[in-house]
Amino acid sequence: MEAEEAKDRLLAISEELGHEIRVFMNSPNSAAPNETPPHDEEPDDFYDFTPEDYFRLMGDRIGAQSQVLKTRKIREAEAAARRARITKAVIRVRFPDNYVFEAKFQPSDKIQSLIDLLTKAIARPNVPFYLYTTPPKERIKDTSKDFYSAGFAPGAIVYFSYDLPKDSELNSEALTGPYLREDIRSLNGLELPSKQEQADPANSQPEAPVIEAPPPASDPNPAPKKPTKPKWLKL
């Protein structure tokens, strides 16, 4: 019963915000965004230039030349085909307290629509904030771009930060969180039911079985066929 009520809350908040959302927490032990995983050192012969490297390099060069020779219309048609295959943009916003806010958009939606959505979802909408990507850390300044043009489709992870001067009185309070609204944080780990689950099986009536009429009974004593005289037979 409680699980059903929680999913109803998630559905209601998604309808309020106008987007399908999901909230979950990242492990605090996960690697920092600017850290790179360690790797073993390569042996000395790894950097030797081999015949395979030569042919691969030549193949890449020929491929690059073919791209240059393509007409503008062909390149535009290929780009349109690639874009048509991407039907959604799933954006995850990671907050400093390890909460992750996920929302689904159309690839043609503007990044400003994400800013507008977050303004409704955060606990302090009156405090200025910005989004950035990493690594390297790069602030998202042009919010007029659509998600596809910005490289955020079919999905991307961005990071949230308040935009306050270091000597601001709100800075120390804002850095401690919470960042999301309390009712949205309570949705942690919940997912919207699928369309089939949303349909109420009690209201769906089974289809009436189709009863086929039996074939007509054959006559057990069929009438004998009248013999016919061939045309060539003359009496």
Alpha carbon distance 63, 70 (integer Å): 11
pLDDT number for residue 183 = 94
Alpha carbon distance 91, 104 (integer Å): 6
Q: Where are the domains of the chain?
A: 1-26+87-186
Helix pair 2-17, 111-121: axis angle to 10 deg: 130
CA geometry: angle 177, 178, 180, nearest 5 deg? 130
> Does 3.10.20.90 match the CATH number of domain 1-26+87-186?
yes
| Maximum distance among all Cα pairs of the chain, rounded to whole angstroms | 129
pLDDT along the chain (235 residues), means of 10: 80 94 81 44 51 64 64 78 88 96 96 97 94 94 95 95 80 76 93 61 52 57 59 57
Phi and psi dihedrals of 125, rounded to 5?
-70, -15
- Contact (Cβ atoms closer than 8 angstroms) between residue 106 and residue 88: yes
pTM value?
0.64
Alpha carbon distance 47, 133 (integer Å): 32
pLDDT number for residue 76 = 79
Q: Which two tokens stand for residue 63?
A: 């491929």
